[in-house]
Amino acid sequence: NAGVMQNPRHLVRRRGQEARLRCSPMKGHSHVYWYRQLPEEGLKFMVYLQKENIIDESGMPKERFSAEFPKEGPSILRIQQVVRGDSAAYFCASSHGQGDGYTFGSGTRLTVV
């Protein structure tokens, strides 16, 4: 039973390029959460999705960031026109639903050069 799979593990992008981060939740999990971890900071919530629906995007920057969780396939966090300040570790977590805990992936470390 594979855990939460994130890829790539490391991603380097030049300023202005697009970054696509993928997350495959645990088998049977239909809730996906994305978090961002900046250096010396805890994890900050970005977005919560269920299949084909965005439930809560209160932590997403208003511009350049988007997320989806299609009926088939992984959840995607997309960052357009990346800037140096987007350099961070991005973690995905999945769960069954309310109150049963969360399983985290190993993260994608994005570096913008």
Partner 1 sequence: AQSVTQPDIHITVSEGASLELRCNYSYGATPYLFWYVQSPGQGLQLLLKYFSGDTLVQGIKGFEAEFKRSQSSFNLRKPSVHWSDAAEYFCAVSGTQGGSEKLVFGKGTKLTVNP
**Residue ranges that bind partner 1, judged by CB under 8 A:** 4, 31, 33, 35, 40-45, 48, 55-56, 58-59, 91, 93, 95, 97-99, 101-107, 109
Contacts of 14 (CB under 8 A, 6+ apart): 82, 112, 113
Q: Give least dist CB 100 to partner 1, A.
A: 9
CA distance linking residue 53 with residue 97, whole number of Å: 14
Q: Give least dist CB 64 to partner 1, A.
A: 21
Tokens in use for 74? Answer: 């992984």
Rank residues 17 and 50 by Cβ distance to partner 1 and give the closer one.
50
CA distance linking residue 78 with residue 29, whole number of Å: 21
Q: What is the dihedral of CA 100, 109, 58, 52, to 10 degrees?
A: -70
Rank residues 14 and 97 by Cβ distance to partner 1 and give the closer one.
97
Q: Give least dist CB 95 to partner 1, A.
A: 7
Rank residues 1 and 14 by Cβ distance to partner 1 and give the closer one.
1
